[in-house]
Amino acid sequence: MKKRWPDETSRRLYRDLQRRLARRIVLAGPENPVRLLLAVDVSYREEDAYVSAVIWNTEKACPVRIYLLRVLAELPYISGMFFIRELPPVVSIIRTFSIEFDLLLLNASGIAHPAGIGLASHAGLYFKKPSFGITDRIPCGAYKMPGLKKGNYTRIMDRERRVIGYVLRSQDYVRPIFITPGHLISPKNALEITIKLPFHARFPEPLRIADIYSRKEFKKEIIEGCR
């Protein structure tokens, strides 16, 4: 029989870590202007994690540089503890290439999370940089669906009715995206920054490009190249 990792003891330690880190989250900012936004995405295949990092110039609204990296995926995906699987690859690519940025954007949840600390928050805390996440859906939070036309949005609230993010209709009649602050950013600023990004699809360009590279281009190239 296959052994389960992390075991109960380890999971409890991760929960404790999350409780301690959650108290350090700052929901205000960014303090400085966001000129370089860094979108990072990861896709998987067997034991490998394919990471892509897109440096995005917000003034010119164009990608500056794209980095690709393959690392080992050490741990499994566990809802509520996504960070144990994806934070290592995210940290790896940024440290490996010494990437500089003003704000980190991930395809993950931020404070809209059962423990109030999703991957986007963990990453922001790790780098001590503003961060937020955009996803298909959230693991936690209450909201109403926004209107069907592009630009409509509604608030996401926790049990105490505090705003923990926004649901944004990024394209006419298309399923909305979920925006939640990670660290060093207010919910409203995460929304405002998102709205200023170019949308050619449901997700903003920086994330869409990061997704394409990690999931299709880069991975395909590596896999084909090994045959």
Partner DNA sequence: GCGACAG
Partner DNA sequence: ATCTTGTCGC
Using CB under 7 A, list all residues that contact DNA: 41-45, 77, 79-83, 85-86, 107-109, 113, 118-120, 133, 135-139, 148, 173-174, 215, 219
Min dist. Cβ of residue 156 to DNA (A) = 12
Q: Determine whether 125 is exposed, middle or buried from the number of CB atoms within 10 Å of its CB (0-12, 13-18, 19+).
A: buried
Q: Contact, 107 vs 211, CB < 8 A?
A: yes
Residue closer to DNA by CB (options 179, 193) is 179
- Residue 25 structure tokens: 């989250």
Q: What is the closest distance, in whole angstroms, from the C-beta atom of residue 110 to DNA in the complex?
A: 7
CB of residue 145 vs DNA: minimum separation in angstroms? 13
Q: Do the Cβ atoms of 124 and 225 come closer than 8 Å?
A: no
Residue 30 or 116: the one with the smaller Cβ distance to DNA is: 116
Smallest distance from the beta carbon of 32 to DNA, in angstroms? Answer: 25
Q: In the complex with DNA, which residue's Cβ is closer, 34 or 51?
A: 51
How far apart are the C-alpha atoms of 211 and 203, rounded to whole Å? 10
Compute the distance between CA of residue 99 and CA of residue 7 in angstroms, rounded to an integer.
Answer: 34
CA 25 to chain centre: 15
Instruction: Enumerate residues 6+ apart whose C-beta is below 8 A from 40.
Output: 51, 52, 53, 54, 90, 93, 94, 104, 105, 106, 123, 210
CB 117, min distance to DNA, A? 8
Comparison of 94 and 138: residue with beta carbon closer to DNA: 138
User: Can you tell me the distance from the alpha carbon of 27 to that of 182, in angstroms, rounded to the nearest whole number?
Assistant: 8
Q: Residue 62 or residue 148: which is nearer to DNA going by CB? A: 148
